[in-house]
A and B are shown apart, each in its own frame.
Chain A
Amino acid sequence: MFELFDAVLAARLQFAFTIAFHIIFPALSIGLAWYLMVLQGLWLKTGRDIYRRVWRYWIKIFAIIFGMGVVSGIVMSYQIGTNWSVFSDKTGPILGPLMGYEVLTAFFLEAGFLGVMLFGSNRVGRKLHFFATIMVAIGTMISGFWILAVNSWMQTPAGFAINEAGQFIATDWWQVVFNPSFPYRFVHMMLAAFLTTAFLVAGVSAWHVLRDRSNSAAKLMFSMSMWMALLVAPIQIIAGDFHGLNTLKHQPMKIAAMEGHFESQNGAPLILFGWPDMEQKEVHAEIAVPKLGSIILTHEVDGHIQGLDAFPEEDWPNVPMVFWSFRIMVAIGFAMVLVGLWSAWARFRGRLYEAVWLQRLAVLMAPSGTLAILAGWITTEVGRQPYVVYGLLRTADAVSPLDAPAVNASLLAFVVVYFMVFGAGIYYLLQLFKHKPSMNEKDIQRGQARRAAGITPIQGLQKDSAEEGH
């Protein structure tokens, strides 16, 4: 049973599986940390207790998501060595320092202030506590900065030379970090993190508003998330378009796969749906808008578009996967814009909290950001295959000299453990989502025994109720 996949495929599946789980948690950590920072800032500024209640509601969820992000992230940093040792040897001198800076500028910052953020509200003053939250929020974004610089360099390598040992070495660090695709990928991913969080918050709060229209905390969350949908979703479409044009410039083959263009042509159509067939080199059952592909990509009606036929066949990625994952991402993006516009209309009419069908749609779309992120990453990662460093190092040449049974066994172990542990984690998250945001939302609870002894809850309740009057 441990010979199921060859060593390369097993290693690829393991990376794909572990990173697909991992990416969900940091994406939500980024969004939630910033959301918590905004809530705490509003609480400090206005003194309205409702902001603190909403903060307390999401801090528990944040703690679980952050924890799962940490443990699944450690796996990623070691996996590049265990399963991809040739890649490690060759890219270490150039990508290693970037990851080193991620640890030094982001991970330590987040971890150092997370304790104060989660458990320190009674130990430090309000401003210092707020400062800790700001540090965690900034840390999550710095982390995104470095890791996306790493990924982007692998897509569009720049500022490097190759030494006699076959290693990539830096000739210009600025070009390494700010490589051609990095700014676009960074903006696109940060917006994705914010939108994913906004739609999670929207879904959870809409569910509570649907059950109890007088729940002021749920209404506040819903309103805030709908503003995010209205303002950020359209920006994301524009950012995504710029990112696509950047990819066209640097990885035209990936665009050809995304668009399902097998033949190079002038005035290429925009293929909406169909089934790309790599053997026959055509798209079956296609529904297409004539000329629109050229208009979008070149801004000319008869603009020339390179098809996959412009590239050697052994360098093609898996076209159906790239084609379909791209469409899923785009469809979700437009659905998010639609929700934003709908909410603006409802708000304009003063019926945001009565818009039952909007709220039901929001509940349905709670995981939509997560799905869009996964689909988008499948597009860009499968789209640069068969290379791990684009055009320079093939994935098949980058693996560790390990026997297939070793990699298959670890793949199996990761699958079992991840479904078990993160399955439980998602179950606990759902329980927290189900929990109604209440008047006396409690802080993170630790130590049942003391709670049973009744030391603080009564006082806490009175204090909260008193502050509710403001």
Chain B
Amino acid sequence: MDYVLIWAGLMAFAVFAYVVLDGFDLGIALLFPFIREQQDKANAMNSIAPFWDGNETWLVLGGGGLYATFPLAFAIIMPALYVPLVLMLLALIFRGVAFEFRWRSRSESGRKRWDLGFTLGSLLAALAQGIALGALVQGIEVADRAYAGGWWDWLTPFSLITGIAVVIGYALLGACWLIYKTEHRLQRLCRQAAFQLTLALGFMIAVVSVWMLFKQDPYMRRWFDYPNYLYLSPVPVITVVLGLYLLKAIKSGRELAPFLTTIALFALSYFGLCISFYPQIVPPSISIWQAASPESSLKFLLVGSAILIPTILVYTGYSYWVFRGKVNSEDQYH
């Protein structure tokens, strides 16, 4: 059994779980300035208050899991993305404490300040994550088991574009979550926002997908060598179909379908990324096998994970089920 491959799959799953789960609660913060009524703001925040901490735990699993299973990749990527990662950590502090502090502030101006921290923190975190993704895709300079570049190498037009793409994607996830969890005025606002964001995201996916092919030779070959393009050609086709269906679902008054379709759209884009990367973990030079921990470590962690990850999914699902339904339909916070 190839434990390295199993762990590469599990880490890819953890990162995807993080992107979707924290994506929608970061996205809600991005929409916050456009929500005018205090009651709607309260509902938007309350719709994620019981979950955000669990959602963010996937980020810790991503970091901790990489450290455990691919320590060399962790040791190269973290210093290479020093500036965006430090900014992300600082930004996440502001948005995380806002969940509590906003309600503790006695004055109107104090609450506005934490709301602003909530939005700007989430914006910066989303942007930094997107930039980090772009910086990884475009390649990291490695020499002698260590990062060999400077501390501003991550900053390129390409990484800025991926940053913006992730911001738009998260905002769309957030809007679709609120379509599902709220009603009336706030839901209408989110439908409008989601429609425009879908168009914007479609454009960004197209730009990043094409531009990315020119960043590394292996990406281009992966997609256009015979017979790969035969197997892979459905990926862009399904993406377009899903995008069109999403627009229709938003317009037609469906409540859960837009959220699920957006997740599917994320999944396809993410799948495309993984296909391009494989088997590299730090493009262009480090493969998953080069970066992996010895088998004793991979086995030791896998034994527990095989039981724990399904258990986590069950009780996380249970927690979502406890807080099911429209957020303002019940008096749940008193």
B and A form one assembly: yes
- Give Cα distance in the complex from A113 to B323, angstroms: 12
- Give Cα distance in the complex from A169 to B51, angstroms: 36
With A67-B99, A93-B294, A97-B300 known to touch, is A85 a contact of B147 (CB < 8 Å)? yes
Name the CB-closest residue of B to A102. Answer: B64
Q: Which residues of chain B come closer than 8 Å to A334, judged between CB atoms?
A: none
Q: CB < 8 Å: which of B56, B96, B297, B316 contacts A96?
A: B297
With A81-B75, A105-B308, A167-B71 known to touch, is A70 a contact of B56 (CB < 8 Å)? yes
Of B69, B86, B103, B146, most A-chain CB atoms within 10 Å: B86
Of the listed stretches A202-210, A347-355, A448-456, chain B binds A448-456
A67 touches B96 (CB 8 A): yes
Cβ of B104 under 8 Å from chain A: yes
A264 CB to nearest B CB, Å: 40
Name the CB-closest residue of B to A451. Answer: B334
A residues 7-34 in Cβ contact with B at 8 Å? none
Of A124, A165, A421, most B-chain CB atoms within 10 Å: A421
Cβ of A400 under 8 Å from chain B: yes
Q: Which residues of chain B come closer than 8 Å to A72, judged between CB atoms?
A: 93
Bitwise interface map of A from 79 to 107 toward B, beta carbon under 8 Å scored 1, else 0? 11111011011111111110111111101
B121 CB to nearest A CB, Å: 10
Q: Which residues of chain A come closer than 8 Å to B89, judged between CB atoms?
A: 74-75, 78-79
- Give Cα distance in the complex from A70 to B315, angstroms: 19
Q: Which residues of chain B come closer than 8 Å to A280, judged between CB atoms?
A: none
B316 CB to nearest A CB, Å: 5
A414 CB to nearest B CB, Å: 7
B residues 34-55 in Cβ contact with A at 8 Å? 38-39, 42-43, 45-46, 49-51, 53-54
A243 CB to nearest B CB, Å: 27
A81 touches B50 (CB 8 A): no
Bitwise interface map of A from 152 to 174 toward B, beta carbon under 8 Å scored 1, else 0? 00000000000101010111010
- Give Cα distance in the complex from A349 to B80, angstroms: 66
- Give Cα distance in the complex from A204 to B307, angstroms: 42
- Give Cα distance in the complex from A165 to B290, angstroms: 11
B59 CB to nearest A CB, Å: 7
With A77-B64, A93-B297, A444-B333 known to touch, is A425 a contact of B75 (CB < 8 Å)? no
A78 touches B69 (CB 8 A): no
Q: CB < 8 Å: which of B51, B92, B309 contacts A74?
A: B92
Cβ of A402 under 8 Å from chain B: yes
Q: CB < 8 Å: which of B97, B151, B301, B312 contacts A71?
A: B97
B residues 92-146 in Cβ contact with A at 8 Å? 92-94, 96-97, 99-101, 103-106, 145-146
Q: Which residues of chain B come closer than 8 Å to A104, judged between CB atoms?
A: 61, 304-305, 308-309, 312
Q: Could you tell me the dominant secondary structure of chain B's interface residues?
A: helix
Cβ of B79 under 8 Å from chain A: yes
A403 touches B150 (CB 8 A): yes
Q: Which residues of chain A come closer than 8 Å to B301, judged between CB atoms?
A: 96-97, 100-101
B50 touches A120 (CB 8 A): yes
With A89-B75, A92-B75, A115-B51 known to touch, is A97 a contact of B60 (CB < 8 Å)? no
Q: Which residues of chain B come closer than 8 Å to A97, judged between CB atoms?
A: 68, 293, 297, 300-301
- Give Cα distance in the complex from A102 to B60, angstroms: 10
Q: Which residues of chain A come closer than 8 Å to B92, judged between CB atoms?
A: 71, 74
Q: Which residues of chain B come closer than 8 Å to A95, judged between CB atoms?
A: 67
B86 touches A413 (CB 8 A): yes
Q: CB < 8 Å: which of B38, B65, B151 contacts A100?
A: B65
- Give Cα distance in the complex from A404 to B130, angstroms: 26
Q: Which residues of chain B come closer than 8 Å to A120, judged between CB atoms?
A: 50, 322-323
Cβ of A63 under 8 Å from chain B: yes
- Give Cα distance in the complex from A115 to B64, angstroms: 23
Cβ of B272 under 8 Å from chain A: no
B312 touches A86 (CB 8 A): no
B60 touches A74 (CB 8 A): yes
Cβ of B285 under 8 Å from chain A: no
A115 touches B49 (CB 8 A): yes
Bitwise interface map of A from 428 to 470 toward B, beta carbon under 8 Å scored 1, else 0? 1001100000000011111111110001110010000000000
- Give Cα distance in the complex from A77 to B60, angstroms: 7
Q: Which residues of chain A come closer than 8 Å to B79, judged between CB atoms?
A: 81-83, 85, 400-402
A119 touches B332 (CB 8 A): yes
B312 touches A92 (CB 8 A): no
Cβ of A310 under 8 Å from chain B: no
B334 touches A92 (CB 8 A): no
B279 CB to nearest A CB, Å: 19
Cβ of B77 under 8 Å from chain A: yes
7 more A-B residue pairs beyond the given contacts A96-B69, A113-B319, A116-B50, with a C-beta to C-beta distance below 8 A: A67-B100, A78-B85, A114-B54, A120-B322, A428-B105, A445-B103, A457-B334
Q: Which 6 A-B pairs have the closest CB atoms?
A: A92-B71, A96-B68, A115-B50, A81-B78, A446-B333, A111-B54
**Subset of 21 A-B contacts with CB under 8 Å:** A63-B100, A67-B99, A81-B75, A82-B79, A82-B82, A93-B71, A93-B293, A94-B297, A97-B300, A108-B312, A118-B49, A123-B322, A410-B82, A413-B86, A417-B90, A417-B94, A425-B101, A428-B101, A431-B106, A446-B49, A449-B39
